[in-house]
Structure 1
Amino acid sequence: MSFLTGGLVRLSEMLPILPPSEKKIATYILENPQEALSLTSHEIGKRSLTSGAAVNRLCKSLDLKGFQDLKLRIAGDLQKAAVQGFRDIELDESSFSIIEKMTSNSIQAINETAELISPDELSRAVTVLQNARTIHFFGVGASGIIAQDAQQKFMRIDKSATAFTDFHMAASLAAIAHKDDVVVGISFSGNTFEVAKILELANRKGAQTISLTKYGPSLVSEQADIRLYTSKTKEAAFRSGATSSRIAQLHMMDILFMCVASQQYEKTLTHIDETREAIGFLTESMKNRKKKFFYEKS
């Protein structure tokens, strides 16, 4: 089960930004995961030349309940088959090899994202989205595509939703946000200034705010009431990691959508059928119009 794994992912992704004492502990565990399972927090602290208190602080930095929670996740990690890691494409690489690498990268990004999901935060996000008057999605660049995808999904189940990629338009919306609105800020890096400011503006108006960023503290997540994460995905020289990060973001949005949809199952089925029929009607009408046009021309 994904919630019983992800200990090693959290350690490796947070490693660069941890305080010195916590970094020593994280490094020790990453280098000796099997051994760490049989040690107490005091013993881990002693072997990493820190302290048991520092181990507890590390677990808090990882958004975990304690050292036992971390050990359970590491035990789950060690049961998984070894993966090769994110791989970049090379000069004149074969199509077969590119297919294999990109598929592997996407699968790994999805799996690691699942391991980073906090059930409590996900539940909170689903509740506020379910009760929202309007859901506003905002992202810049590639994250803007994720916002637009989320908008069309939620609209299909009769949720009032908007998606903005323009900072000024989003700022205007945030300025008149209602306390029953939800503003979702999407930024893979977590440091997109515009997204952080939109969430800050929404907070001032009393709206609920949700962030979707890569794992770890960031400008964007600090402004959010509810923080959701994707795997960092190791960016490679050719930026194939950017592709994997997009897949991870879409996966997280699909999880949110499906969770909300399941809470109103019968209504969801009705709305999906209605929208499917509407699209089918328009498609058939366009086909008939084109046939008539070509017939009159011939």
Structure 2
Amino acid sequence: MEKISAGLIMLAEMREKLPPSEKKVASYILEHPSKAIKMTAVELGEASHTSSAAVIRLCKSLNISGVQELKLRIAGDLQREKTDDRDIEPNEPLRSIVEKVTMQSSQILSQTADLIDTVELNRAVSALSKANRIFFFGVGASGITAMDADQKFLRINKNSKAFMDLHLGATAVVNAEEGDVVVGISFSGETHEVAKILEIARETPATTISLTRYGSSLVSSLADICLYTSPNVEATFRSGATSSRLAQLHVIDILFMCVATSDYEQTIDYLDATRTAIQGLHKKVNTRKK
């Protein structure tokens, strides 16, 4: 059976936004995860002073298939080795920093992979594969992700453009047509500029995709298709969006690979052509007149 996790992350992120009865179930599971994975829906309902129906509704709110998947995800969380989430310390040895940053990066990539909904991923890949034009938008560190996405999709001959300026982005998106795709990137999911771009895009026939941290947010509420990264909070010295940017790039890489493999032979031709062109840039320029 496929190994999955991130159940505890999903519960923690969604708890405060759940209806009262579902919130009680989520709180009980978060407080007693080892007990919860051994219980049936009826037993979870009794233990949390709710009902089995509340447990089932909770699974629907988390957009997972049912109680069994929820328990499998929590079991996966419990089996994973706990990592040191502390920030770096004064005069910390270099080897310790290398190991700590590597472990934290590995953790956020695994958590992000576990949070990817294959149904939503498939919808995003389908939209991007057929897109006439793709507009990526993000500000700050998310703007770096937008530029990376633009560079990748340009290499396979997609009509792609990245924007980090709200005015320029709005100018492009307001004229989006059917078959175009607008991708809004925001780790918090509350970035005003990204929300405005998706709000403008909603008034056009374009398909909208959001890439945010897991959980309900303003940006994700404005998108047709929602993709998520791990919601792990940055430590003080990692506040330059180290982990969140890495998680976003991971999802972009997945999207790119999925789109590329959907038209494999043509993609290989495009990649070969772009590789040859880049290599040719380093050759001496021929100045002879024709």
Which residue in the other structure is 1:6 paired with? 6
Structure 1 residues without counterparts, runs of 5 or longer: 290-298
Per the alignment, do residues 15 and 90 of structure 1 end up closer, same or farther by CA in structure 2, a change over 3 Å counting? farther
Q: Are the aligned partners of 2:5 and 2:76 in contact in 1 as well (CA < 8 Å)?
A: yes
Work out whether 1:158 is the aligned partner of 2:157.
Answer: yes
Q: Note the C-alpha offset of 1:57.
A: 2.3
User: How much identity, in percent, do the aligned residues show?
Assistant: 57
Give the Cα separation in 2 of the matches to 1:175 and 1:244: 32
Q: Are the aligned partners of 2:3 and 2:76 in contact in 1 as well (CA < 8 Å)?
A: no
Q: Tell me the alpha carbon deviations over residues 198-218 of structure 1, each in whole angstroms, 9 at most, x when there is no partner.
A: 111111111000000000000
Which residue in the other structure is 1:94 paired with? 93
Q: Give the AA of the match of 2:14.
A: M
Q: Are the aligned partners of 2:138 and 2:194 in contact in 1 as well (CA < 8 Å)?
A: yes
Q: Note the C-alpha offset of 1:101.
A: 1.2
Which residue in the other structure is 2:204 paired with? 205
Q: Are the aligned partners of 1:86 and 1:241 in contact in 2 as well (CA < 8 Å)?
A: no
Partner SS state of residue 257, structure 1 = helix
Which residue in the other structure is 1:214 paired with? 213
Which residue in the other structure is 1:295 paired with? none
1:1-298 → structure 2 map (5 Å cutoff): 4-78=4-78, 80-240=79-239, 242-285=241-284
Identify, as 1 or 2, the structure richer in helix.
Answer: 1
Q: Tell me the alpha carbon deviations over residues 250-296 of structure 1, each in whole angstroms, 9 at most, x when there is no partner.
A: 0000000000000111111111111111111102337x99xxxxxxx
Per the alignment, do residues 9 and 77 of structure 1 end up closer, same or farther by CA in structure 2, a change over 3 Å counting? same
Q: Are the aligned partners of 2:5 and 2:75 in contact in 1 as well (CA < 8 Å)?
A: yes
Q: Tell me the alpha carbon deviations over residues 193-235 of structure 1, each in whole angstroms, 9 at most, x when there is no partner.
A: 1111111111111100000000000000000000000001122
Per the alignment, do residues 223 and 68 of structure 1 end up closer, same or farther by CA in structure 2, a change over 3 Å counting? same
- In the superposition, the TM-score normalised over structure 1's length comes to 0.90
Partner SS state of residue 13, structure 1 = helix
Q: Give the AA of the match of 1:202.
A: A
RMSD (Å) for aligned C-alpha atoms: 2.0
Give the Cα separation in 2 of the matches to 1:133 and 1:105: 38
Q: Are the aligned partners of 2:234 and 2:242 in contact in 1 as well (CA < 8 Å)?
A: no
Structure 2 residues without counterparts, runs of 5 or longer: none
Q: Note the C-alpha offset of 1:98.
A: 1.3
Farther-moved stretch of structure 1 (59-68 vs 18-27): 18-27
Q: Note the C-alpha offset of 1:76.
A: 3.4
Number of residue-to-residue matches in the alignment:
287
Farther-moved stretch of structure 1 (23-32 vs 93-102): 23-32
Q: Note the C-alpha offset of 1:180.
A: 0.8
Partner SS state of residue 151, structure 2 = helix
Q: Are the aligned partners of 1:211 and 1:226 in contact in 2 as well (CA < 8 Å)?
A: yes
Q: Give the AA of the match of 1:246.
A: R
Give the Cα separation in 1 of the matches to 2:4 and 2:80: 15
Give the Cα separation in 1 of the matches to 2:113 and 2:99: 21
Farther-moved stretch of structure 1 (270-279 vs 209-218): 270-279
Per the alignment, do residues 84 and 19 of structure 1 end up closer, same or farther by CA in structure 2, a change over 3 Å counting? farther
Which residue in the other structure is 1:296 paired with? none
Q: Give the AA of the match of 1:21.
A: S
Give the Cα separation in 2 of the matches to 1:111 and 1:223: 27
Q: Note the C-alpha offset of 1:20.
A: 3.7
Q: Note the C-alpha offset of 1:177.
A: 0.4
Give the Cα separation in 2 of the matches to 1:168 and 1:180: 22
